Structure 1
Amino acid sequence: MDINIEPFHPIDASNELLDKYLEFYFNYLKERDPDDPLPSKDYIKHRYRKKTPQWVFKRWIVFNKGSKDKIIAASSCVYTVTGATIALKKKDRARIRIIVAKNFRNQGIGTKLLKIITSELQKTNKRVIETTTSFDSGRRFCEKFDGKLITESTESRLYLRRVDWRLINQWRIENQQRNPEVSIELFTKIPEKDIEEFCELYTEVTKQEPSEKDYQLIMTPELRRQREQQWEQENIIWETMITRESTGAISGITEISIYQKGLPTNAYQGFTGVREKYRGRGLGKWLKAEMLTHIQNNYPKVKLVITDNTNINAPMLSINRRMGFQFYKKVSEYTFEINQLAQKFGIKD
């Protein structure tokens, strides 16, 4: 089909064009998560117009040829700038997203966008493309271009009105009695005295998450402080709960985030992890029960909690099921070698 593909720069785009993009994007969100309310339009506009000095964003939008009334597809790629302080073990990655409106799929639009992205990334020092999808059509597209499936995770949801609070309170009491010398602490900012140990534990625990990924996030005090500053600026509630041993050591972590301006009805349960030598004492269950109780008692707008775990992380999936989390969707993550895509598309250096 005849289409026009144009670069898209939301930071300096006109309000009219950004509104057209948001209409397209919100239609995609309704299809992806039909049970969710839409986020605040002003909040999303603010995020798209915000400058991100450590990241490079490239975006494209697609119109029917001869008409700019409606956006029918869009794509983006993002990667770190040279010299960025973001602490990734490997910085040769770029993340991409390709969205095609439902009525325009299977007509070659996604392929054209992937070719443009591949050509753009060949000009950089990036070697690998990453992307995620929760659509069967997205999985077929990735497989068509020989994407390597590296992670399959389950997004699960827990509606607070359905929580068995008797069970949650039982977990809190039992595990407190089981670990009488352990205390629970809650932070919005990690105390300076704990920041080094926290980052070490955060990195260790994320490394233990089962996955085929060949890289990982390395948390550093600098990166954590950057994130805390960003969350504060964007009015994002991000809370960290830890278990502290009688020795003062941090043994376990769980985190939540709530986008107050964007979607205050949803709380996102981040990863929960316990340092290996402290496992087998119910600390993970205790942390999750305490955090759920904290959400219920302090955030009356929150209606549901969303979490995701890899499908091979059986212990965490088991805890979630017993808490009442129910399967919502499968999310698949793929990687592509940029040079292989370039060869497939006939793109020369």
Structure 2
Amino acid sequence: MLIQAEIRSIDLRNASEAEYAALSDFANTLRAEILPDDPPVPLEERRRSWQSIPPVVEVPTWALWEGGRVVATASAEVLKLEENKHAMSFDVRVLPEFRRRGIARRLLAQVLETARRHQRRLLIANTSGRIPAGEAFMERLGAERGLETHTNQLELAHLDRELVRRWQEEARARALGYRLELVEGPYPEADYPAIADLVNVMNTAPRDRLEVEDFTMTPELLRHQERSAFASGGWRWSYFARDPGGRLAGYTEVYGHPNRPQVIHQGATGVRPEHRGAGLGRWLKAAMLERILQRQPHARFVRTGNADSNGPMLKINYELGFKPYISSVVWQVPADKVAGYLGEAAPG
């Protein structure tokens, strides 16, 4: 029976061509379940992405095979950082026709062993509202909803261009002495320390019930992230707001890939607390949308992820015309509770 099939470990950075091809086919099948209107991700793009995983991340991965086909996977993400040494993210995925056969349970045992080996007592996972089986699995584990979020989508054909123009004019009038700077691709070498410090403003974003600590961005981590993001052929634009003294006050970023020109992803948008109230967030978002309209003629949608509790950012996005597209939940569950679900005794 398939439930007795062998689970094999895979090194994502150094997998074989057959493993990469099978993993890519598996990932695209599940991707179509969540994003049925989007094209699949080409094998070469996925290979480059897996091969460029930053060295500060360990990603032990397991696959269950049926012949030459992967039918289920699990992975853990162990961050080798000073913060959040108590926590570990994980992912368990099973093809629709193989669900409810005990496969996820078997793969979860590999995740738990990894958590114990790295002394991680809290496990964190994401589920999509478009795959109800994932949510049901986390509920069976006894996991807690730590953060509820949505991918919100803007149809560019419906964007109010007059609003975009007005927001920029109003911000220039209110934020006297501030200016915006555009960076395409990698950041200027001299700016890495200041940008890393600015990115830490994202620690003010809602975390709701998630038991996680602030994350400290450093220039080294920023470089790792960039190398990984650009290795697969993607692009990124960043707008920065500088205050009258030249200090970085806020930023926004978007990214995309030539393989999917119709979709652009809005990444982080953040303004330092002491600079809020001058319309910088609206200015940054509006300037970026205007640039997308001018320079990305094939783009149809802009998508962004927001915590459902992030009222200020949701207000801006909804005014621009973003609408809920996909719901998701970030779950947390103690490793000991996972052990109980698997029928294992907690380590003595």
Question: TM-score by structure 2 length?
Answer: 0.89
The aligned amino acid for 1:71 is: V
Bigger drift between 229-238 and 286-295 goes to 229-238
Residues 37 and 126 (structure 1 numbering): CA distance in 2 closer, same or farther, change over 3 Å?
same
Candidates 270, 291, 299, aligned match of 1:294? 291
Which ranges of structure 2 fall in alignment gaps of 5 or more residues?
Answer: none
Deviation at 1:348, TM superposition (A): 5.5
Residues in 2 aligned to 1:153 and 1:208: alpha-carbon distance in whole angstroms: 16
Does the CA contact (< 8 Å) of 1:5 and 1:60 recur in 2?
no
Residue of structure 2 equivalent to 1:257: 255
Tell me which moved more, 310-319 or 185-194: 185-194
Q: Alpha-carbon deviation of 1:302?
A: 2.7
Could you say which residue in structure 1 is the equivalent of 2:239? 241
Question: Which of residues 163, 187, 198 in structure 2 aligns to 1:201?
Answer: 198
Give, in angstroms, the shift of residue 50 of structure 1: 4.3
Larger mean CA deviation between 50-59 and 212-221 belongs to 50-59
Structure 1 residue 57 corresponds to structure 2 residue 56: no
Distance change in 2, residues 1:274/1:109 (3 Å): same
Match of 2:126 among 112, 123, 132: 132
2:150 corresponds to 1:157? no
- Tell whether 2:325 aligns with 1:336: no
Counterpart for residue 96 of structure 1: 90
- Change in Cα spacing, 1:12 to 1:279, as seen in structure 2 (3 Å) is closer
Most deviating of 21-30 and 264-273: 264-273
C-alpha distance 332-5 of structure 1, shift in aligned 2 (>3 A): farther
**More displaced, 314-323 or 173-182?**
173-182
Tell me which residue corresponds to 2:302: 305
Aligned 1:67-216 pairs, distance under 5 A: 67-80=66-79, 84=80, 86=81, 89-134=83-128, 135-187=131-183, 188-191=185-188, 194-203=191-200, 205-211=201-207, 212-213=209-210, 214-216=212-214
> Quick one: structure 1 residues 218 and 69, their matched pair in 2 at CA, closer, same or farther if it must change by over 3 Å?
same
SS of 1:122's partner is helix
CA contact (8 A) 1:156 1:306 kept: yes
User: What code does the residue aligned with 2:281 have?
Assistant: G
2:44 matched to 1:15? no
Q: Cα offset for 1:79? A: 0.9
Q: State TM-score, norm by structure 1.
A: 0.89
Is 1:186–1:241's contact at 8 Å kept on the other side of the alignment?
Answer: yes
Provide the secondary structure at the position in 1 that maps to 2:36: coil
| 1:226-237 correspondence runs (5 A) | 226-237=224-235
User: Structure 1 residues 128 and 165 mapped into 2: Cα distance closer, same or farther (>3 Å)?
Assistant: same
* SS of match in other structure, 1:144: helix
**How far off is 1:194 after superposition?**
4.2
Displacement of 1:12 in angstroms is 4.6
Give the counterpart letter for 1:241 in structure 2. Y
CA RMSD of aligned residues (A): 2.2
* Deviation, structure 1 residue 232: 4.0
Distance 1:52 1:182 in 2: 35
User: Does the 8 Å contact 1:255/1:271 carry over to 2?
Assistant: yes
Cα distance in structure 2, aligned partners of 1:283 and 1:124: 42
Percentage identity across paired residues of the two chains: 26
Question: How many Å separate the matches in 1 of 2:72 and 2:141?
Answer: 19
Contact 2:142-2:337 at 8 Å conserved across structures: no
Counterpart code for 1:75 = A
Q: Unaligned 5+ residue runs, structure 1?
A: none
Query: Structure 2 CA distance, aligned partners of 1:256 and 1:299?
Result: 12
**How far off its partner does 1:193 sit?**
5.1
How big is the shift at 1:51? 6.1
Structure 2 CA distance for aligned equivalents of residues 311 and 282 of structure 1: 22
Partners of 2:250 and 2:50 in 1: CA distance:
35
CA separation of 1:40/1:265 partners in 2, compared to 1, >3 Å: closer, same or farther? farther
